[in-house]
Amino acid sequence: MDTKTLETILTTYGPTGHEDRISSVLRDLVAPYADEVYNDKLGNLIALKRGVSGKKIMLSAHMDQIGLVVVAIDEKGFLRVANVGGVNAPLSAGHQVVFENGTRGAVYFERNEKGVGEVKMNNLFVDIGAESREEAEKLVNVGDMCVFAGRFALMGNRLSCSTLDDRICCAALVEAIQKARSEHDVYYVFTVQEEVGLRGAGTAAYAIEPDLGISLDVTGTGDVPEALPMAVELGKGPTVKVMDSSVIVPPAVRRFMENAAAEAGIPFQREVLRGGGTDTGAVQRTRGGVPAGCISIGTRYIHSPVETCDMRDYENAVKLLCACLERKELPIA
Amino acid sequence: MLGRLEQLTNIYGVSGDEGRVRKYLKGALDDMGLAHKTDAMGNLIVHKAGKGRRVMVCAHMDEVGMIVRGVLENGLLAYEAAGLDPRVVISKRVAVGRDDVPGVIGAKAIHLQNREEFKRALAHDELYVDIGAKDRADALKYVKPGDRICFTTKFERLGEDIVKAKALDDRVGCAILLELLKNDYECDLWAVFTVQEELGLRGAKAAVWTAAPDVALVLEGTTANDMPKAKEHEYVTRMGHGPAVTFMDGGTVARPRMFKALQQTAKEAGIPYQFRQGSRGGTDGGAINKALDGCVVGGISVGCRYIHSPASLASVSDIQNAYLLAHAFLQTKKFDEVL
Amino acid sequence: MDVFEALSAMTTAPGVTGNEARVSEVVRGYFRAYTDDISVDAVGNTYARIGETGPTLLVMAHMDEVGMMVTCIEDNGMLRVRSVAGVDPRVLPGSEVTVHGKREIRAVIGAKPPHLQDSGDEKKAYTADDLVCDTGLSADEVNALVGVGDNVTFRLEPPMKLKNSIVAGKTFDDRACVAVMLEAMDILKSRRLNCRVVFCGSVQEESGGLGASAGGYNVKPDLAVAIDVCHAPTPGTKPFDTVEMDRVSVTTGANIHPKVFDMIKASAEEQNIPWETDVAIGATGTDAWSLQPLLGGIPCGLISLPLRYMHTSVEVISLDTLRNCAKVIAGVAANLGADWEEKLCLDD
């Protein structure tokens, strides 16, 4: 994928619940390759590429990113905010944010004796340069959301950008729909509202009733200073997920993915994520249960403005996904 | 509607034991000539069949309360609570079980406390319900483990515009829903009086399978924290400033079109409204929006001061305006504009 | 039916949450004595059906056990492990475990020896990150046999008999209740049923009830009774948190349909079985919680077997109470017939 398209996917506005813009960008990219493209009630973007086997595979990567929602505007024009998804309050202070209409803001915190480490969400405020409530209300409203201003930085083999979670996997789905050849009906689902509870994936899976679900998301790594033990490192390949807080991947699905990787000569790692759930769990729990697995891209500094991954892992993730889609036999639990 | 609210708030209906509220509502529905069904969890469902959009409107029947866990040797009752801060239950009158056995939740008298005790808040498992029994055997003549324990606060008007009652959360919603059912709307309407919202949106989780809505309106009582020591941005809602429209809570993020539609409805109809200025807290909407193949949920709430306590307050004009807002939304078929 | 023998076979088959295939196989073997109608669904729930007409009663006990998973292999071959669901790391140091790699490998869980600890260290509880799983094998051997994601269970030892029909062993939570189901099937094999009973060994109860959620959807029962373990008194437990070892616990509360409670109570009383009400204001922490709201609402009940030292390798139960639980559930099935809808009506 060319850098410009990748950057667009990564930096288009789309916090949880307000994914229309990123949905539009992705829709234009996938429509030429799909037999059907549509958005469902909650806004999930679904692109279907039909096959012949009668089996259905649902792929998912979430479009939404974490952000801050405006809860109140004070008389001086400062915005009071709350988190949308897992936003770390101290890590937000000192960053620039941007609203859907382009309004920029600076995030800072109420002075306290202990410094920024003790800061909670309700100690933060956003300065959009307004001098009064009236002036602020011309630019933003209560209920509007802002996101960290996107910075896209290529560092050798690695990429740093606040939205790798999960736009790097949205990019992977866009590449896969162009490249993969599958006998099965493949639903490329760009889900909504993952960051607040995997809400889009479950509803999409309920409607699609897939025989297999493969989600794509980022996962943590154990390769930074003082990291807690974790067997994932940047550059050693995408991962086949074993378990996270939302799902235990069925051994049969793991084997299916590992066999696909082995046969295609794609390096991979096995991943157990300590804290954090993914769309995989929501898909698995639909109706009478769905065999579901996940391919993850190891990412450092998740949910910070400087998320960092290795682009070789990204490329291998796309290859692994295509290799899975090209299998005739699908796993049964 | 206010008369209904008075009757509704006075009924004892703790989560899991909503039978009496349901009975009252069934009576009211029978008087209105409306058919109704009760599902396996106890949700009361009114389906006003119609062409067009499947729309669900709901309010929960249950109130926060307690359950008897066991009877101690000395005749006092050990209890468990859900959704109740232990600090608000002390020094209150209650009714226990289907026979409404009178009881009190007392605490050690100040005179007998030492300095440390005086500063520390008591937890639920240090508090007991006293029905005046001599001992365990005596108590078991009147109550049993599993009986619900409910506050006995009576509805009252305070001043021109304010009502005081228990269970304004969410009998205000029930009163509004009952009022809405007097009208006919151009949609396939599923009105649901849900159970066990306070235990995790349990009734809604079940009812949504039956209603299978595309659009839903949730009528709730919500926090009004407009108090002297609170910071303005922590008020959530202000009593008397109109029904509150939700943009986000613990279980939903309002779809942009729904959020706009609710505001538009209010402006068109000249109804005062405010935003629910918070991002936490749950309502039945949290269960409904992500069930089945998804549903666009809108929240209309009435701010209640001292919510989840034996005596809460709400504004009569807020309640009336909440009804008008929900009514206008349905009347002008905004449900067709939010998908 | 030899309950102890069935318990031994089931508790020595590995089946950590999310990986129940082996224990499912053992359970199917026992189901075969009572019916040919046996199946496994997409998530691994294992079903046995009896009865031909009438309402469908779903009886559910979970097959999965709390256990651990290898998360990392250190350079020296030692394994890092994490609980998959519910293993208290404080019970682990000094435990003998089995690592389920390409073959079953015996190992121990180790932590810093007492001699080398700073004084005061012994007061701090261990967390999973302080512990290692040591197989004694070389790094090369370990890497050839074990991978990240492999399960680690308490050592697969059969249960032991204590006095007074009391037994101790691993994974009575909840395989003792799977044994209750088998015993109930044994009781019912000579009875004519006016209902259909689906006995289900569910999966993943310990990690949030995926099995119950999928199973309830697949079976679409008219009512359901979950069977799980509950806490029996031990020193330090509070009065109403536990049920005596010799009583069948019958739960009441918002998770439970009051009329199903009545059916269970009636069955216990007509058979003179000692039982006790266990009160849960809301969530019961069992499959019943996942089952209840499905498909517009399933009337649910919960019967529990009291157990000491839950989620350790030395759980303790009474075989007499186990058999009583089976009699109670069999009684519910035997009494279920054409008037079931009437019986379930909520009287407001």
Write the DSSP assignment of B249-278 as a string of letters: -SS-B--HHHHHHHHHHHHHHT---EEEB-
Q: What is the pLDDT of residues C263-287, one digit of tens each?
A: 999 999 999 999 999 999 999 999 9
Q: What is the pLDDT of residues B277-300, one digit of tens each?
A: 999 999 999 999 999 999 999 999
Query: What mean pLDDT is predicted for residues C112-119?
Result: 64
Give the chain C residue whose CA is nearest to the CA of B69. C279
What's the CATH code of the domain at C94? 2.40.30.40
Distance CA C18, CA C3 (A): 26
Predicted ipTM of the assembly: 0.94
Q: What part of A 140-179 touches B (C-beta under 8 Å)?
A: 142-143
Environment class of residue B214 by beta-carbon count within 10 Å: exposed (0-12), middle (13-18) or buried (19+)? buried
Q: Which residues of C touch A259 (CB under 8 A)?
A: none
Per-residue pLDDT band for C44 (boundaries 50, 70, 90) equals: very high
Identify whether C174 is preceded by a cis peptide bond (ω within 30 of 0).
yes
Report the distance separating Cα A326 and Cα C47, nearest Å: 33
Confidence of residue C333 (pLDDT cuts 50, 70, 90): very high
**Structure letter (DSSP) for residue C240:** G
The CATH number covering residue C45 comes to: 3.40.630.10
B290 touches chain C (CB under 8 A): no
Q: Do A69 and B255 touch (CB under 8 A)?
A: no
The answer to whether C320 contacts chain A (CB < 8 Å) is no
* Dist. CA C193–CA C195, nearest whole Å: 5
pLDDT value of residue A187: 98
Q: What pLDDT, on the 0 to 100 scale, is given for residue A333?
A: 65
| Residue B210 within any structural domain of the chain | yes
φ/ψ (deg, to 5) at B195 = -110, 165
Under the banding of pLDDT at 50, 70 and 90, the label for residue B43 is very high
Q: What is the pLDDT of residue A230?
A: 87
* Amino acid letter for position A154: L
Residues in chain A: 333
Are residues C190 and C295 located together in one domain of the fold? yes
Burial pattern A262-281, b for ≥16 Cβ within 10 A else e, equals eeeebebbbbbbbebbbbbb
Q: What is the model's pLDDT at position C114?
A: 63
One-character DSSP codes across B201-236: SHHHHHHHHHH--SEEEEEEEEE----TTS-GGG-B
What homologous superfamily is domain A3-65+162-325 in, according to CATH? Zn peptidases (3.40.630.10)
Left, alpha or beta for A153 (phi > 0: left; psi -120 to 50: alpha)? beta
C277 closest CA partner among C237, C322, C230, C331: C230
Q: How far apart are CA A274 and CA A117, in angstroms?
A: 23
Amino acid, single-letter form, for residue A104: R
A287 Cβ under 8 Å from any chain C Cβ: yes
Assess whether B331 and B291 both reside in one domain.
yes
Question: Percent of chain B, pLDDT > 90?
Answer: 89
Same domain, B46 and B179: yes
Query: Which tokens in the block code for residue C55?
Result: 């309402």
Instruction: Give the residue numbers spanning the domain of B105.
Output: 65-151
pLDDT-based confidence at residue C123 (cuts at 50, 70, 90): low
- What is the band of B62 on the pLDDT scale with cuts at 50, 70, 90? very high
Same domain (yes/no): B221, B242 = yes
Task: Tell me the mean pLDDT in the region B299-306.
Answer: 97
Domain count, chain B: 2
Note whether A3-65+162-325 and A67-148 share their fold: no
Which ranges of chain A have pLDDT less than 50? none
What confidence tens digit (pLDDT) does each residue in B136-156 have?
A: 999 999 999 999 999 999 999
User: What CATH number does domain A67-148 carry, 3.60.15.10, 1.10.150.310, 2.40.30.40, 3.30.470.20?
Assistant: 2.40.30.40
Say if the Cβ atoms of C210 and A332 lie within 8 Å.
no
By percentage, how much of chain B surpasses pLDDT 70?
A: 100
Residues of chain C in contact with residue B81, where contact means CB-CB under 8 angstroms, are 281
Task: Give the span between the Cα atoms of B261 and A249, in whole angstroms.
Answer: 41
Average pLDDT over residues B68-78: 95
CA distances from B185 to A276, B174, B182, C37, C56 (A): 44, 18, 10, 50, 39
pLDDT number for residue B209: 98
Chains contacting A (3 or more CB pairs within 8 Å): B, C
Q: Is the pLDDT at C119 greater than 70, yes or no?
A: no
Of C295, C296, C348, the CB nearest to B23: C348
- HEC states along A37-79? EEECCCCCEEEEECCCCCCEEEEEEECCECEEEEEEECCCCEE
Separation of alpha carbons C233 and C245, rounded Å:
8
The catalytic position among B63, B179, B197, B198 is: B197
Average pLDDT over residues C207-231: 97
Q: B74 and B45, same structural domain?
A: no
Winning range, highest mean pLDDT, from B116-120, B228-232, C109-113:
B228-232
Q: Check pLDDT > 70 for residue C113.
A: no
CB–CB contact B294 A40 (8 Å): yes
- pLDDT of C121: 63
Residue C164 maps to a domain: no
Catalytic residue numbers of C read: 205
The interface residues of chain A toward chain C in range 180-239, judged by CB-CB distance below 8 A, are 222, 228-231
Residue B91: pLDDT band by 50, 70, 90 thresholds?
confident
- Report the share of chain C in percent with pLDDT over 90: 88
Residue of chain B minimizing CA distance to A208: B293
Q: Is B157 part of any domain?
A: no
The answer to whether B84 faces chain C, any CB pair under 8 Å, is: no
B193 and B145 within one domain = no
